[in-house]
Structure 1
Amino acid sequence: MIKKILFFVLFSTTIGFAQYGYRDSNMIALTLGLNQFSLNTSDIQSTPGTGWNVGLAMRGNFYDDWDAIWGLQFSEYNFKVATLNATLRDRETNFKLPCANITFQLSYKFIENHLSVEFGPMVQINGKLAVEKTDENYVIKGDEEYTAKDLTNISNVSFYPLIGITAGVRNVRLNVSYQYGINNMLGKLDGGFSGHASVLSGNVVFLF
């Protein structure tokens, strides 16, 4: 399924940009980098964690100093939640969230091939949160009715507005971006939990 989505994104983008001819900005972008994921909630105690990103995108001329970017990025997000183990000792339990992110961004070029800002929507598709089996039955600190395993059933689709800045040379650039989850990530849980994700990413972008 993911391969079909990637093919569709790249095929659609290539067709869409063809009308602009062979301009310098029409490029394929490969991104590699790290992210810091935070779960913003007052219902549980959580701390940010570090994960990774890898993605592929098409960047092409849109209008005057504007480019358009279609992309598919695979990420693993990590964060920790305060829990109590079987002997009621404090423990930080790590949660992982593998996901696929589909983005469409507009990019304003301050300096051609060197400095630009990007913004646009991102759609995240994911399964359940992953937690180590040894930690599944640890209870959530401050809300002992729930275990770590209870928190794994989260929303499978999330929407993020994204903003970023990219700087470098024609074929290698650095990108820093921030995105904030609009929908309640914990909305599928019983008990009225509320939590919104935010992600800060730093990527190296290789353009071909």
Structure 2
Amino acid sequence: MKNIILLCATVISFTATAQYDYEDSNMIGITGGINQMTMVSDGLQTKGGTGWNAGLSVRGNFYNNWDMVYAMQFSEYHFSVASTNAIGIPREADYTMSGGQVTLQFSYKIVPRHFSVEIGPAFHFQGKMDYDRQQKEDLVVGTPLTVEQLRDISKFNVSPVVGLTAGFLKFRANVSYQYGVLNTFERVNKNHGSHISAHPGVLNANLVFYL
């Protein structure tokens, strides 16, 4: 988490010093919103859930109708996995995945200050997933793993992000979609000899207030 904060501070400092020659000054934004995660997997039976986003961003002129947007976002994601208890009764294990991400997006201004389209990468950092510990020994359907064993996911992922932003100079709404390129459960596979493949697909809806 310290690395995320340091990277964001460096990016903000760079932008503030590098962009001053352009017509519009840089804008620092406070971001908040919701997300809908779907864990896309061919080996797990999953359902999506709704979480939240909060963070900071910097938007600055880049070239002609292009802006550059740097952002640091903290999020909580929710999804569930089909499982069975000790006597084989089916139920669901609800997981919570918390972490941060840093994004760098190119933003093309279709209508300057009012409507733009964004594209760029996001870099994710996350820890172990949380869940109801009463389901610790439940088995994950389609695998030999317990609900507890599934929680120690990979700590890093990278996603391409595409989005739309609309609004006014100081207040805008953003909708974006991102898809994790790396296997979320690669760490689980290495630790337990499993062969699970799953990638997070996240739809974000955020409001941005520029200072």
Report the TM range for the smaller structure's normalisation: over 0.9
Quote the offset at 1:170 in angstroms: 1.3
Matched letter for residue 166 of structure 2: A
CA contact (8 A) 1:72 1:103 kept: yes
> What SS does the aligned partner of 1:151 have?
helix
Matched letter for residue 74 of structure 1: F
1:207 maps to what in 2?
A: 210
Q: Does 1:16 align with 2:7?
A: no
Quote the offset at 1:94 in angstroms: 0.8
Q: Does 1:100 align with 2:100?
A: yes
Q: Does 1:6 align with 2:16?
A: no
Q: Take 1:177 and 1:3, find their aligned partners in 2: how far apart are those partners?
A: 22
Identity %: 38
Alignment gaps of 5+ in structure 1: none
Aligned pair partner of 1:195 in 175, 178, 198? 198
Matched letter for residue 172 of structure 1: F
Q: Take 1:87 and 1:25, find their aligned partners in 2: how far apart are those partners?
A: 63
2:113 maps to what in 1?
A: 113
> What SS does the aligned partner of 2:186 have?
coil
Q: Does 1:37 align with 2:40?
A: no
Quote the offset at 1:57 in angstroms: 0.9
CA contact (8 A) 1:120 1:163 kept: yes
Alignment gaps of 5+ in structure 2: none
CA contact (8 A) 2:35 2:205 kept: yes
Give the length in aligned residue pairs: 205
Q: Take 2:41 and 2:99, find their aligned partners in 1: how far apart are those partners?
A: 21
CA contact (8 A) 1:62 1:68 kept: yes
> What SS does the aligned partner of 2:12 have?
helix
CA contact (8 A) 1:25 1:113 kept: no
> What SS does the aligned partner of 1:131 have?
coil
CA contact (8 A) 1:51 1:78 kept: yes
> What SS does the aligned partner of 2:181 have?
coil
Task: List aligned pairs for 1:18-167, cutoff 5 A.
Answer: 18=20, 20-21=21-22, 23-24=23-24, 26-143=26-143, 145-167=144-166
CA contact (8 A) 2:19 2:25 kept: no
What do residues 96-124 of structure 1 show as CA deviations (whole Å, max 9, x unaligned)? 11111000000000111110000000000
Quote the offset at 1:9 in angstroms: 2.6
What do residues 100-153 of structure 1 show as CA deviations (whole Å, max 9, x unaligned)? 10000000001111100000000001111222211221111233x211111112
> What SS does the aligned partner of 1:146 have?
coil
> What SS does the aligned partner of 2:73 have?
strand
Quote the offset at 1:77 in angstroms: 0.9
CA contact (8 A) 1:68 1:107 kept: yes
What do residues 137-173 of structure 1 show as CA deviations (whole Å, max 9, x unaligned)? 1111233x21111111211110100000001111111
Q: Take 1:88 and 1:30, find their aligned partners in 2: how far apart are those partners?
A: 47
